[in-house]
Amino acid sequence: MVSRKKNDRDPHASREAQKYDNPIQSREFILSHLKDRGAPATHETLCSELGQSSEEGIEALRRRLIAMCRDGQLICNRRGAYLPIEEADLVTGRVIGHKDGFGFLVPDDGGSDLFLTARQMRQVFHGDRVAARVDRVDDRGRREGVIVEVLEYRTSQTVGRFFQESGISFVVPENARINHEVLIPQENCGNARHGQYVVVDIVRQPTVRT
């Protein structure tokens, strides 16, 4: 088992000490540690290996790991273990939607875009940041991506036309790059009328099933 004490050999320890009252290991140190251990590690395991045993240290490390996932430095797998995103051979970038339902992932590193099928686009909005793996190269020579993780949701509100059909209320976004119909619970419809333009808050982000 890999074990390190707090701030042991962390070249950025002084910087962290200046920024926080109860500093923990820097992002750079955590990335280096995960690369050195050669396998993903859970939050609990990292707390043990990095010597974080206090309630404050455990919570601070949890928050840092979440932030590193959000910023595309780490990925959390289905077992709840973290690994550097580069070790997972993933592409990170911004989603660009198309009016016909499919989309593209524009990589952060400036490489060629990944094609996203309409099924993949069901779990994101135009503009979201994601991590994806290259699944295959299609007949047209395009790299096709499969979304592994949504790093950042960037749509919290949208404008669209309100409809009521067969007792179901929903909004069709005005932005043609967003192909989701936003369902509105009856109790939240207010005074909106069929066909009227409205502004809606997104309180639940899309998934493959919704």
pLDDT tens for 142-190 read 899 999 888 889 999 999 999 999 989 999 999 999 999 999 999 999 8
Q: Which residue spans of the chain are classified as CATH 2.40.50.140?
A: 90-152
Once rounded to an integer, what is the mean pLDDT over residues 113-137?
Answer: 93
Residue 34 parent element (H or E): helix 27-37
Structure tokens at 1: 């088992």
**Coil/strand/helix, residue 16:** helix
Task: Single out the residue of 181, 184, 115 nearest to residue 144, CA to CA.
Answer: 115
Under 8 Å between Cβ of 2 and 33: yes
Task: Single out the residue of 126, 146, 141 nearest to residue 208, CA to CA.
Answer: 146
Q: Which residue spans of the chain are classified as CATH 1.10.10?
A: 12-86
Under 8 Å between Cβ of 178 and 125: yes
pLDDT tens for 9-68 read 788 888 887 888 788 999 999 999 999 988 889 999 999 999 999 999 999 999 999 999
Task: Single out the residue of 67, 57, 178, 170 nearest to residue 123, CA to CA.
Answer: 178
**Coil/strand/helix, residue 183:** strand
**In this structure, are strands 41-42 and 91-97 parallel, antiparallel, or unpaired?**
unpaired
Q: Considering only the top CATH level, what class is 12-86?
A: mainly alpha
Residue 99 parent element (H or E): none
Instruction: Check if CATH label 2.40.50.140 holds for domain 90-152.
Output: yes
Once rounded to an integer, what is the mean pLDDT over residues 98-106?
Answer: 96
Once rounded to an integer, what is the mean pLDDT over residues 114-136?
Answer: 93
